[in-house]
């Protein structure tokens, strides 16, 4: 279990979306949920890297390296763990408050593994 610095930067879903979408996105949305959750629904431009894999030392996907990482999970707990772990490894990473639940509640798109409308549950 990780201990968290309450002053660690966290982004709202609005800030996360602004930083990770569009042709000139300054950051990558990194979804750290497990594969069944990812398949059920994720942000269209997100990249998948499960927290369990990161904990065991798996490398980040090539498309995310040397980029700012905006880390998301379902509710915000695992993304805090992942962001802390990634920062300790030298990455520029922040997490998203409220996770994909807040993303979907804000009306932002969620797609399943086939690109159809997905869910965060």
Q: Which residues are catalytic?
A: 73
Which candidate, 67, 70, 64, places its Cα nearest to that of 29? 70
Could you read off the pLDDT of 23-62 as tens digits, one per residue? 889 999 999 999 999 999 999 999 999 999 999 999 999 9
DSSP state of 68: E
And the tokens for 38?
Answer: 């990812």
Let me know how long the chain is: 121
Could you read off the pLDDT of 5-15 as tens digits, one per residue? 545 579 999 99
Provide the pLDDT for residue 84. Answer: 94
């Amino acid at each position: 279990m990780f201990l968290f610095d309450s002053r660690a930067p966290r982004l709202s879903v609005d800030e996360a979306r602004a930083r990770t979408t569009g042709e000139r996105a300054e950051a990558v949305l990194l979804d750290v949920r497990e594969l069944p959750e990812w398949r059920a629904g994720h942000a269209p431009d997100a990249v998948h890297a499960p927290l369990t894999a990161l904990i065991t030392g798996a490398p980040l996907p090539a498309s995310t390296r040397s980029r700012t990482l905006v880390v998301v999970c379902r509710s915000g707990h695992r993304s805090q763990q992942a962001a802390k772990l990634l920062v300790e490894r030298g990455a520029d990473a922040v997490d998203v408050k409220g996770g994909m639940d807040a993303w979907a509640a804000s009306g932002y798109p969620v797609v399943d593994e086939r690109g159809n409308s997905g869910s965060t549950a």
